[in-house]
A and B are shown apart, each in its own frame.
Chain A
Amino acid sequence: MTGVLIVSIYIFVLSIFVGFELITRVPPLLHTPLMSGANAVSGITLVGALIVAGTGASWLGTLLGCVAIIFATINVVGGFLVTDRMLEMFKKEDKKT
């Protein structure tokens, strides 16, 4: 079990570095969409919620899992949609008048 934990920690630390590399390059122009997009990604916890809600081992766990699904889905669906709505508005100057 410890081996699994160590691998998880490796993955976690390396992902943090990847994140730093990727996001340092995002210009201030896009900081708000970046944030709401990242916010939607953090709704990935939905995957965990699906598992705990579907296992059916105890009613309390299932109930909490179900609430977790609702929360996470709001986060995911709302987050991606609102980010798309914002990015759609960003336009380059289309014609020189």
Chain B
Amino acid sequence: MTMLINIAYLISISCFILGLKFLSSPRTARRGNMLSAFAMFIAVVVTLFDRQIVDYTYILAGIVIGGTIGVAAAKKIRMNDMPQMVAIFNAFGGGASSLVVLAQFIHHPEMAELNTGFTIPAALFIGTMTFTGSIAAFTKLQELVKSAPILFPAQKIINFLLHLGIVICAVLFITQPGESSFFYLLVILLLSAVIGITLVLPIGGADMPVIIALLNSYSGLAAAASGFVINNYVLIVSGALVGASGLILTNKMCRAMNRSLFNVLFGAVGQDIDTGSQTGQRNVIRYTPMDAAMILENARSVIVVPGYGLAVAQAQYAMHDTVELLRKRGTEIDYAIHPVAGRMPGHMNVLLAEANVPYDYLKDMEEINEDFKNTDVVLVVGANDVINPAARGNGNPLAGMPILNADQARSIIIIKRSLSPGFAKVENELFYEKKTMMVFGDAKEMLLKIVANLKTDS
């Protein structure tokens, strides 16, 4: 029986790997996801035949309760809120891993004396930190606490001491097994929980994509770590795959902002401080949606730069209508998507796909950045930092961040509520340029007016 179980696990692992492979193309991605779900199904069913399992009552109850909540959540969630959803699911994954470790130790306290004993504190640490960190990220994304960095004094020293405390308890746990083993684990649990929170609170709103990717990676590592504790290869392999995927995304997000991970975690960019920028009265010329529609009508090539403001205003559909009307007139038009547009990696693509924008119109920054200089009009909706030319300079929080070359186009239309700076709190010189037309107002309202104008003229 053990043999059969192991073979089934191997099939499950293979399906996970293939599922991930299929995720690399939009044509096969859906199949890939289903394959992963199938792999999970095999792993779960096979595990039920494990000879260690004697009682199925709680198992069934747990699956029914969890499954119902999972289905309800997945059906109800709005695409805007995907980052929160991933954060809270992450929390559940990490929390489950740390509970598994704890329960395993309670069942088999003798484990502490084996030379694999060190995997217990390690797995408990990662799982618990993922749990509280993800919950902290969730509260920030949901704006239950303010999204700007929350700083506390001596952040680095406190973090160091917390980690030190965990190491000491882990060493005690391994070297002195016995009565107090469980106590050491509880202290590790507590300290890890605090670390998760202190890790996430100082992270600013703009850096959320990085931290979500990082927590995603942790949740995988937590699963792998609990795999070490209960000695199960499916957990180790799948956990490692997720860990690797999260790390790659973390790295990509950091590069998209030209920041190191260390800087994201401890830099606290985007605080509510006055950067002392020139806030003197400067004039910009206000244009109406009618002006914008006229410019768009006469353009031969247009690139749309959507930002998170577009999604906040729920303007994706109006955006899509605008683009379609122009396309019907023969205008060359595409979307340019910055890697950190939205609040999690790739978020903007999902938001536009929801509004029925075909994915072949969505171009990555690398793909489209050279085209700006040959483009008549760039239409920027609800984006700011990702087109701020200050990023090419030095000595400001944006310096070095790769940006979309919107400023190279012949003219620029920016739909925005106000002149206020973006997350990075750096003023955008582009707003004041001669070739820039500022259209102030709610993105949806303004786009609907543009659509109306385009319709009457055609």
Number of B residues with CB within 8 Å of any CB on chain A: 118
Contact B89 A22, beta carbon cutoff 8 Å: no
Contact B71 A53, beta carbon cutoff 8 Å: no
Of B199-207, B233-241, B267-275, the stretch lying at the interface with chain A is B233-241
Q: Return chain A residues, CB-CB under 8 Å to B70.
A: 73-79, 81
Contact A12 B236, beta carbon cutoff 8 Å: yes
Please tell me which one of the listed residues A57, A72, A93 contacts residue B358 in the complex, with CB atoms under 8 A apart: A93
Contact A38 B245, beta carbon cutoff 8 Å: yes
In the complex, A46→B45 CA distance in Å? 11
In the complex, A64→B75 CA distance in Å? 28
Contact A68 B219, beta carbon cutoff 8 Å: no
Q: Return chain B residues, CB-CB under 8 Å to A44.
A: 40, 43, 223, 234-235, 238-239
Please tell me which one of the listed residues B16, B74, B102, B361 contacts residue A78 in the complex, with CB atoms under 8 A apart: B74
Contact A35 B249, beta carbon cutoff 8 Å: yes
Q: Return chain A residues, CB-CB under 8 Å to B418.
A: none
Contact B346 A34, beta carbon cutoff 8 Å: yes
In the complex, A75→B243 CA distance in Å? 16
Main DSSP-derived SS at the A contact region:
helix
In chain A, positions 13-53 with a C-beta closer than 8 Å to chain B are 13, 15-20, 22-53
Main DSSP-derived SS at the B contact region:
helix
Task: Assess whether B59 is interfacial by the CB under 8 Å rule.
Answer: yes
Contact B53 A32, beta carbon cutoff 8 Å: no
Known contacts A39-B86, A42-B238, A87-B33, A72 near B23 by CB under 8 Å: no
Q: Return chain A residues, CB-CB under 8 Å to B227.
A: 8, 48
Output the nearest chain A residue to B77 by Cβ-Cβ distance.
A82
Task: Assess whether B61 is interfacial by the CB under 8 Å rule.
Answer: yes
In the complex, A61→B105 CA distance in Å? 8
In the complex, A73→B30 CA distance in Å? 21
Q: Return chain A residues, CB-CB under 8 Å to B108.
A: 57
In the complex, A15→B230 CA distance in Å? 18
In the complex, A20→B247 CA distance in Å? 9
In chain B, positions 73-129 with a C-beta closer than 8 Å to chain A are 73-75, 77, 79, 82, 85-86, 89-90, 92-93, 95-97, 99-100, 102-104, 106-108, 114-116, 119
Q: Return chain B residues, CB-CB under 8 Å to A45.
A: 93, 96-97, 100, 222-223, 226, 235, 239
Output the nearest chain B residue to A44 by Cβ-Cβ distance.
B238
Task: Assess whether B44 is interfacial by the CB under 8 Å rule.
Answer: yes
Known contacts A49-B96, A65-B103, A16 near B243 by CB under 8 Å: yes
Known contacts A64-B106, A72-B66, A30 near B26 by CB under 8 Å: yes
Q: Return chain A residues, CB-CB under 8 Å to B246.
A: 35, 38
In the complex, A42→B90 CA distance in Å? 8
**Closest-CB distance, B235 to chain A (whole angstroms):** 6
In the complex, A39→B91 CA distance in Å? 10
Task: Assess whether B248 is interfacial by the CB under 8 Å rule.
Answer: yes
Contact A61 B63, beta carbon cutoff 8 Å: no
Residues of B within 8 A of A (CB): 16-17, 19-21, 23-27, 29-30, 32-34, 36-37, 40, 43-44, 47-48, 50, 52-56, 58-59, 61-63, 65-67, 69-71, 73-75, 77, 79, 82, 85-86, 89-90, 92-93, 95-97, 99-100, 102-104, 106-108, 114-116, 119, 212-213, 216, 219-220, 222-224, 226-249, 252, 328, 337, 339, 342, 344-347, 349-350, 353-354, 356, 358-362, 364
Residues of A within 8 A of B (CB): 1-2, 4-5, 8, 11-13, 15-20, 22-58, 60-62, 64-94, 97
8 A-B pairs within 8 Å (CB atoms) are namely A19-B243, A20-B244, A26-B23, A32-B345, A35-B86, A41-B20, A53-B103, A90-B359
